[in-house]
């Protein structure tokens, strides 16, 4: 099994632990864990989109008051239940996003005919990216795109069958690391479910 596929399966096993988490503190820790995981595997963290997501989801939930009243801004009530629900949802979405980032680091290969077509798609994607750099002038844009597509069609693509041959590489260390990640994420879920983590 390729290293990238180990990460893919780890993510699939850990997904329910994030989706089922209903402890706000637990989901926050899980989100932090997968963000670090994605960052240490070459992915970038962009603060602004995450902040916008968190603010927009939380404020949307405030429109439906729920639970203890924290403060009123004019006639608008800010309730603890609504705020926690919004935050939990936002953290779940962020955690899933970064888990997904981690799962596809190293480009996993999908099985079957669809997997081969996806490989072929990426083969052409590389060709388009490098071909586009070589095209001059790039204006008018339609003419440049047309030239690019003509060049690519004329090139004989590698056979579908020869693309995406999976290299069987067993990486014990990677496997152990990923078992640890799974245990941590499920452990945080259990700590939340058993009310060992604070509920805020």
Interface contacts to another protein, rule CB under 8 A:
11-12, 15, 38, 43, 49, 52-53, 56-57, 59-61, 63-64, 89, 93, 96-97, 99-105, 107, 114, 117-118, 120-125, 127-129, 132, 142-143, 145-146, 149-150, 152-153, 157, 159-160
Question: Quick count: other Cβ atoms within 10 Å of Cβ 41?
Answer: 14
Q: Which is nearer to another protein, 4 or 80 (CB)?
A: 4
Q: Which is nearer to another protein, 143 or 165 (CB)?
A: 143
**Residue in 33, 20, 151, 153 with CA at minimum distance from that of residue 88:** 20
For residue 146, the minimal CB distance to another protein (Å) is: 5
Q: Strands 76-79, 69-73: parallel, antiparallel or unpaired by DSSP? A: antiparallel
Task: Tokens 């899980």: give the residue.
Answer: 30
Please say whether the beta carbons of 30 and 199 come within 8 A: no
For residue 198, the minimal CB distance to another protein (Å) is: 26
Q: Which is nearer to another protein, 28 or 197 (CB)?
A: 28
For residue 194, the minimal CB distance to another protein (Å) is: 27
For residue 145, the minimal CB distance to another protein (Å) is: 7
Q: For every residue of 35-103, which 3-state class applies, written as one string?
A: HHHHHCCCCCCCHHHHHHHHHHHHHHHHCCCCCCEEEEECCEEEEHHHHHHHHHHHHHHHHHHHHHHHH
**Residue in 83, 58, 57 with CA at minimum distance from that of residue 68:** 83
Q: Which is nearer to another protein, 117 or 184 (CB)?
A: 117
CA–CA distance, 143 with 138 (Å, rounded to integer) = 8
For residue 117, the minimal CB distance to another protein (Å) is: 6
Q: Which is nearer to another protein, 33 or 197 (CB)?
A: 33
């Amino acid at each position: 099994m390729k290293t990238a596929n180990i990460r893919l399966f780890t993510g699939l096993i850990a997904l329910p632990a994030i989706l089922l988490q209903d402890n706000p503190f637990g989901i926050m820790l899980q989100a932090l864990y997968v963000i670090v995981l994605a960052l240490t595997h070459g992915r970038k963290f962009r603060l602004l989109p995450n902040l916008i997501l968190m603010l927009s989801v939380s404020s949307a939930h405030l429109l439906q008051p729920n639970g203890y009243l924290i403060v009123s801004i004019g006639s608008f009530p800010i309730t603890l239940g609504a705020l926690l629900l919004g935050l939990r949802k936002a953290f779940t979405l962020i955690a899933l996003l970064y888990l997904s980032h981690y799962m596809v680091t190293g480009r996993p290969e999908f099985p079957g005919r669809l997997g081969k077509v996806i490989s072929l798609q990426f083969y052409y994607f590389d060709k388009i990216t490098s071909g586009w750099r070589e095209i001059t002038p790039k204006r008018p844009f339609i003419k440049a795109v047309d030239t690019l597509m003509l060049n690519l069609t004329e090139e004989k693509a590698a056979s579908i069958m020869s693309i995406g041959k999976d290299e069987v590489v067993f990486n014990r260390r990677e496997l152990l690391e990923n078992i640890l990640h799974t245990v941590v994420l499920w452990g945080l879920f259990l700590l939340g479910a058993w009310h060992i983590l604070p509920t805020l």
